[in-house]
Amino acid sequence: MSGVTNEKCYSTSKSWRNAFTRISTVIALYPHTRFYKAVVVIPPGKLTPKTSRYLLTFEDDENAERYVDAHYVLDIIRER
């Protein structure tokens, strides 16, 4: 897995409850390492109310699903 290098990322000002929907592509903190590209499987609050964690699959992680706190999930700004 290689970390984010060619894309800028920024924190969203939206509430974590509706910031990213299912199948959104994001940048997120891979557990205990650095930020990588990921896809949202389940947004916060869909499994249990009041949760602030996303269920994500990370690029190059053999489709493993991992929970990440919402404040470590960022939007991607793609340069054109």
Whether residue 29 has pLDDT greater than 70: yes
Number of domains in the chain: 1
Find, among 28, 24, 39, the residue nearest to 3 by Cα. 28
Q: Is residue 50 part of a domain?
A: yes
Q: Is residue 3 part of a domain?
A: no
Q: Is residue 2 part of a domain?
A: no
Q: Which residue has the tokens 């990370």?
A: 58
% residues pLDDT > 90 (the chain): 51
Question: Per residue, what are the HEC states of 1-56?
Answer: CCCCCCCEEECCCCCCCCCCCCCCEEEEECCCCCEEEEEEEECCCCCCCCCCEEEE
Domain coverage including residue 68: 8-77
Q: Are 4 and 27 in contact (CB under 8 A)?
A: yes
Find, among 17, 12, 21, the residue nearest to 50 by Cα. 17
Which CATH number do you get for residue 71? Answer: 2.30.30.140
Read off the pTM: 0.73
Q: Is residue 17 part of a domain?
A: yes
SS3 label, residue 76: strand
Higher per-residue confidence, 26 vs 18: 26
